[in-house]
């Protein structure tokens, strides 16, 4: 699936337990999302801070243009399944 056709963007970082939980839940649907590591992408980190009161809270997931901070993994699975 091309990047422009993906409606889910997952902002994450290495060593984050909540990110690992989300990754496990997403499983085989992972390639349907755009993944942005905030420790390797300054623009991604700035976006996460902009929607989390200046904090780098991950996972932050954008689904169809709406940011969700540490969403229930099933919400993300449902969004990816609908693509």
The domain limits of the chain are: 3-76
Q: Looking at per-residue confidence, does 59 or 83 come out higher?
A: 59
Rg of the chain over all Cα atoms, to the nearest angstrom: 12
Kindly report the pTM of this predicted structure: 0.92
Dihedrals φ, ψ of 66, to 5°? -110, 125
For domain 3-76, the CATH superfamily is Glutaredoxin (3.40.30.10)
Which of 57, 34, 53, 33 minimizes the C-alpha distance to 45?
A: 57
Instruction: Quote the crossing angle between the two packed helices 17-26 and 73-81, to the nearest 10°.
Output: 40
**Residue 51 pLDDT level (bands cut at 50, 70, 90):** very high
Which of 11, 65, 15 minimizes the C-alpha distance to 38?
A: 11
Phi-psi region of 58 (alpha: psi -120 to 50; beta: other; left: phi over 0): beta
């Amino acid at each position: 699936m091309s990047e422009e056709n993906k409606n889910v963007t997952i902002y994450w970082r290495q060593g984050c337990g909540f990110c690992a939980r989300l990754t496990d839940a997403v499983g085989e649907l992972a390639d349907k999302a755009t993944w942005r590591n905030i420790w390797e992408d300054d623009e991604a980190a700035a976006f996460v801070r902009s929607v989390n009161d200046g904090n780098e809270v991950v996972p932050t997931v954008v689904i169809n243009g709406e940011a969700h901070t540490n969403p229930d993994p099933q919400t993300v699975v449902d969004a990816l399944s609908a693509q």
